[in-house]
Structure formats: structure tokens, C-alpha cells
Amino acid sequence: MKEIILVGLNYRTAPVEIREKIAFPEETLTHYLKALKGLSSLTEGLILSTCNRVEIYAATDTPEVGVEEIKGFLSVQHQLPLPAFEETLYVLKGEELVRHCFRVASSLDSMVVGEPQILGQIKEAYRMAHATKATSTLLNKLLPRAFSVAKRVRTETSIGNRAVSVSFVAVELAKRIFAHLEGREVLIIGAGEMCELAAQYLVREGVSTILVSNRTWERAVALAERFKGEAIPFSELGRALLRADIVITSTDAPNFVINKDMVVDILKRRKNHPLFFIDIAVPRDVDPQVNSIDNIYLYDIDDLQEVAAANIKGRQQEASRAEGIVAAAVEQFCRWYQSLEVIPTIIALKEKMERIRQKEVDKMLVSFPNLSARERQAMEDLSKTIVNKILHNPITLLKKANENADGEPYVDTVKKLFSVETE
């Protein structure tokens, strides 16, 4: 029977230095999905890659082999020796995996509990996997069910109302750096969802100017216009750094956007006026060596965990209610999964017994050709009653075991006793 497995790492198990090396760029994710689909032991696959986690979900007939192939896949695709990151990986199966998936989609496993971005990210990961034909029966059931659970958590609890995104936490950190943000100039590098959220929060805090720089000029202009800011060409990033008090950066660039030499030069031209960087990109946009420069302060996404932890206390009660929704959904999904084997076994058992019954009745009818129609029907009815009585206990036991999610041993026993095969 096929089993779903998960191999992954997240902000709890791996520092950003590892996560950025294992991350999959969104623009090339289809390429990686095709490579994942090509692994011999896997029949389905999905890649979830965000700033806080990289997880590969897969279906396989051989879980142990599948796990090792996925580890090798991560190593080969990122050209990174497995020992360099293997200790940061976790492997999940069965009920534990289902619970984890539902909690991730519901933002109960996020750095900032209740943040809304993760649901959109996992939906996009599923959309791409489905479009690549990398998913089938199991993942096509698991992921939509996870989305349904996340929706219930949002509508039946207040966890979303009290949530703060990573972008919000970045702004909270900026408020710690400065007593207030009124009158400050902020440079946002990137024009994606996290940058847009950061801009929203900064406007609420009263910043005087928002500068936006992005590789795609049109997107920079659109974001700047929305918040009555100023778009800066990416080629003139140095000019923007001269003006800014705070820099929040979140691009998809594979390499550093800001390096140490650039910042040293800018700082001289700023006459050593302090500059604060908040780098929420994975891979990181700002070279960590920048933090060694006097009057330069750099925070990356892992530094946000401290601020996030302070915001969690007010959401614990809502999180507990959400966990109850998840637990009920996990039980329901596991019951469905177990039925994948139980129901075909029951059907196969009935069909085999019917074939045997019909064959024996046909023999009797040949031996007694002069039976009346009424007598023939009586023989049919009697044989069906006998078969149903014989099958009653095995089928009842299988159904009851399926309800308790422990039907697998009984399925194997019935198959052996009655020589039943299922697809």
C-alpha cells in the first residue's frame, strides 16, 4: 500500500545559512518537480519552499527507499554534501505527517503563529505540482483537505485576527531600533507580497518616505505609487542607500544584492550615519559580513524569532482551539486513508465468494436439469444466504477496524485466509 512521506527542514531545525542553500527558486520550481518525479521510488511529489521551510511531500511503495532518494535529491540538486545538512532534516510519515501538513497550512507551525502567507504559499506549491502532473490520489486528497482545515481555523477562531506576519515583525524590530518611525525614510528592496505588507505597516507607523527598488522597474513603480512613495532604479541602489534610515529587503535573488564593499563605500558618503538592514529574504540579500561594519546593524529572518515569540502569548488560546480542529481533521483523513485498503479488500472478497457461489450453483443446475423455476430460485437464494453469513464476521471486523484506524493487520489476514488480491 502506498504511503505518504515527508522530508524537510524549517526555522526550528536549520539556521538561515542552511535554509538558503536548500531553498528552491520559484521560477525554476517546475524543473525541480520534474526531477523529483523522475525518482524511481516515488509515485507522487510536491515541493514547498518558503523563507522558513523546505519540505518535500511524496507518495511511495517503499518509504525507506523514498526517504533516502529524497535526501540524495536535495544533495544533488543543490550541490551540497548530505552530511552538511542531514542533521537538520526531519522525516514524517502516517498520522504525524498528516497533522504536520494541516498545522503548516493553518499557520500553527509558523514562526509567527497565525500569519496568513503560508496558506497561499502551500496552495501555490500544490498548484505547480498538480500542473506538472506530479500529484495523484494521495496528495490530491491531502493538500485540498489541508486547505479546508486552514479555512476552518480562520473562520472558527480569531487566530488570523491576532496574527502578525514576518513583515509585521520586521517593522516591530524597526520600532525597537528607533523610538518612533515618523519622519524616517525607508528603502524597500523587492516588490513581492512580503515587501508590500511591510510597506502597509510602515505607512501606518507614519514613515515620511518609502523608497522602492526592484529589478523589474514596473513593479517598483506600481508599489511606490500605491504608497505614495518613490521608485528607484535597481542600478541606482547606492543613491537610495544614501537616503535611507532603514532598509527592508526581500528579493528572490540567488546571490547577495548588497555586499560589504558597497556598504563601506556608502557609509563613508553618509558620514557614518547609522544604517539598519532587515533582511527577510531566503537566500539572504545582504552579505552577513556587513554586520561587522561600525554603525551598520543587520538583522536576518532568524533574528525575527525573538520578536515573534513576544507576540505569541496573546494567541495561545486561539491556537488551542485551532489544534482541536486539526486533530479532528487528522482523524478523519486517517480513516479515509485506511479505507483505501479496507474497502477494496471487502469488494474483492465479496466478488471472489460470488464467483465461487455462482460456479457451484451452475454445477448443481446441470446435475438437476428438471428443476422448476421456483426450485432454481430457492437454490440461488439459499447459496447467497450461506455466503453472506460466512462473510458477515470478516466484513464486520474489517469495517470496525477501519473506523478505529487499525485495519491493516486484519486486511493482511483476510487476504491470506481467502487468497484475495486487490489493485
Residues with catalytic roles: 51
Report the DSSP pairing between strands 90-93 and 53-60.
unpaired
Cβ-proximal residues to 136 (8 Å cutoff; 6+ apart), any chain: 43, 44, 59
Quote the CA–CA distance of 335 and 312 in Å, as a whole number: 33
SS3 percent helix, strand, coil of the chain, rounded to 5, is: 60, 15, 25
Q: Tell me the residue ranges of DSSP E strands in 219-352.
A: 230-233, 246-249, 275-279, 296-300
Q: Which of 140, 99, 137 is nearest to 2 (CA)?
A: 137
Report the DSSP pairing between strands 90-93 and 185-189.
unpaired
Which residue type sits at 31?
A: H
Report the DSSP pairing between strands 185-189 and 209-214.
parallel
**Which 3 state secondary structure label does DSSP give 230?**
strand
Asked if residues 305 and 110 have their Cβ atoms less than 8 Å apart, the reply is no
Asked if residues 116 and 153 have their Cβ atoms less than 8 Å apart, the reply is no
**Which 3 state secondary structure label does DSSP give 36?**
helix
Asked if residues 148 and 196 have their Cβ atoms less than 8 Å apart, the reply is no
Output the nine-digit C-alpha cell for 7: 522530508
